[in-house]
Amino acid sequence: MRTTLYANATVIDGEHDEARERWSVLVEGERIAAVGPVDSLPAPAGARVVDCTGRTVIPGLIDCHFHGAYQAVTCWEDYDLRRSIEHATLLAARNAQTLLEAGFTSARDVGTRGLIAIALRDMIDAGVILGPRLSPGGRIISSTGGLADGFGHWVENRASLGHVVDGVEAVVKAVREQVKYGATNIKLEASGTGISPYSDSRKQTMSTEELAAAVKEAHRNNVRVACHAQATEGIKNAARAGVDTIEHGSFLDEEGADLMLEHGTILVPTISVIWLYVNEGPNVGVPQWIVDKFAGDLAEHRQSVEMALDRGIPMAVGSDSGHSFNPQSIIAIELELMVEWGFTPMHAIKAGTSIAARAIGREAHVGRLAPGLFADLLVLDGNPLESMKVLRAPGGIRRVVKGGRLVAGAECPRVEEIELGFDVAPEGATGGVGVGEDGAPDRPCCLQTSDELGQ
């Protein structure tokens, strides 16, 4: 069995509140064998030793809000219409690898086209492609006119991001279909969002009865439930229904916070997606009406995160990446923004490791540096407690180790750097975005508000 000693590091184990100086991590095969002071952990005979002097070792990060199939999205049509499902699948494979290279060794997919996320999980597990340990979901289960009901009735798309169903019976059937194909996570919605053509972030959508029926059926099958909820009433409906995580949580009030604490609901606040919509969206082709909607949410979103911090609601890192302004390569920005919005650096790291592992139901396997867990870890050229930017600095991540194997990082030999951007997406009928002569995105205009759709 291959044995590696990561020796003499600053160790942040994802669980304890203090960093340990001059500690080591011993890895045997794909698991962690021991963690302790450098003097108590000599290298076993035959072990490889990675000298981590001056470096920090932390658990591999976890993205609780990944969408492998998202690529350079600026508006709803980009999710579903601009490229074929085959193109989207191949791009998702690359996005999974990018996520791993960004230091995320586990992820939960919370909404995909068709069965892309399940195929990704299976191909990663089989070693066909590189990617994080993936907890896959299916399409987003949505009510008519809700979050993921993206098109008029004249558009038929049986593999679209949204699976539109109404009523308890239909919702239960939708959950069973996803369980049938291997989802380990169900994504529901209790409110719309800024990009939804027929809804918005302040409108509650699926009823408590529909949500509760989905949760019951999912849990009966040992499958967890993530629920998009921004609207105040939507957050409460989702918490009452017993969802495992609430995504975004933009307009949390005291009663909603009470309900989340009562039900043990974890919040995935996705700070960066909302912040970047507003601050970067206009530069990369997001239509102004969408930017305006998110801009109207941002201050209250921050107040909600601060309330959740105050009230001690557990929060986990989730990126909602894959839009034109937040490619998978930059998503450690979520931890930077957590610190900017009031988390201590140690709390942000726990939100991206041990708390995130709890959020996705994988805490027995990942999210901490402890004996018996998978050896998923990062070797960093610096200390994230001093600056979280080390996670995004060129060469900041020296090693990404997944299951004891070096899979990415500056010290991982690789064939070629590939950076995907909106300007290299395929053009034409399968579509995408090119760059015009002036350097601006050259693309068909995005759809319209729902008012215009009705004309």
CA dist., res. 31 & res. 227, Å (int): 32
CA dist., res. 453 & res. 455, Å (int): 6
Residue placing its CB nearer to Zn ion in the complex, 133 or 187? 187
Half-sphere exposure in the Cβ direction for 28 (13 Å, CA):
11
Residue placing its CB nearer to Zn ion in the complex, 28 or 320? 320
Nearest distance in Å: CB 113, Zn ion: 13
- For Zn ion, the nearest residue by Cβ is 320
Q: Which two tokens stand for residue 262?
A: 């009562």
Nearest distance in Å: CB 256, Zn ion: 20
Nearest distance in Å: CB 312, Zn ion: 25
Residue placing its CB nearer to Zn ion in the complex, 331 or 373? 331
Residue placing its CB nearer to Zn ion in the complex, 149 or 320? 320
Residue placing its CB nearer to Zn ion in the complex, 101 or 320? 320
Q: Is 109 in the site for Zn ion (CB under 5 A)?
A: no
CA dist., res. 174 & res. 161, Å (int): 13
CA dist., res. 74 & res. 294, Å (int): 13
Q: Is 217 in the site for Zn ion (CB under 5 A)?
A: no
Residue placing its CB nearer to Zn ion in the complex, 200 or 320? 320
Question: Of 49, 61, 144, whose CA–CA distance to 107 is shortest?
Answer: 61
Write the binding mask 47 to 66 for Zn ion: x where contact by CB under 5 A, - elsewhere: --------------------
Which amino acid is present at 186?
A: I
Q: Is 334 in the site for Zn ion (CB under 5 A)?
A: no
Q: Please give the span between the terminal C-alpha atoms of the chain, in angstroms, as a whole number.
A: 67
Residue placing its CB nearer to Zn ion in the complex, 77 or 320? 320
- Cβ(250)–Cβ(304) under 8 Å? yes
- Cβ(298)–Cβ(279) under 8 Å? no
CA dist list (Å): 67 to 131, 227, 246: 13, 14, 16
Residue placing its CB nearer to Zn ion in the complex, 80 or 320? 320
Site for Zn ion in 304-333 (CB under 5 A): 320
Q: Is 78 in the site for Zn ion (CB under 5 A)?
A: no
CA dist., res. 360 & res. 365, Å (int): 11
Residue placing its CB nearer to Zn ion in the complex, 52 or 227? 227
Nearest distance in Å: CB 369, Zn ion: 29
Nearest distance in Å: CB 6, Zn ion: 34
Contacts of 50 (CB under 8 A, 6+ apart): 4, 5, 6, 7, 379, 399
Residue placing its CB nearer to Zn ion in the complex, 6 or 294? 294
Nearest distance in Å: CB 195, Zn ion: 10
Nearest distance in Å: CB 61, Zn ion: 18
Nearest distance in Å: CB 95, Zn ion: 14
Residue placing its CB nearer to Zn ion in the complex, 10 or 230? 230
* Percentages (nearest 5) of helix, strand, coil residues in the chain: 35, 20, 45
What stretch of H or E contains 88?
Answer: helix 85-101
Q: Is 336 in the site for Zn ion (CB under 5 A)?
A: no
Number of residues that bind Zn ion (CB under 5 A): 1
Nearest distance in Å: CB 200, Zn ion: 15
Nearest distance in Å: CB 82, Zn ion: 18
- Cβ(247)–Cβ(270) under 8 Å? yes
Full 3-state SS string of 255-316: HHHHHHHHHCCEEECCHHHHHHHHHCHHHHCCCHHHHHHHHHHHHHHHHHHHHHHHHCCCEC
Half-sphere exposure in the Cβ direction for 146 (13 Å, CA):
26
What interhelical angle do 271-279 and 288-311 show, nearest 10?
Answer: 150
Nearest distance in Å: CB 327, Zn ion: 15
Which stretches of the chain bind Zn ion, using CB under 5 A? 320
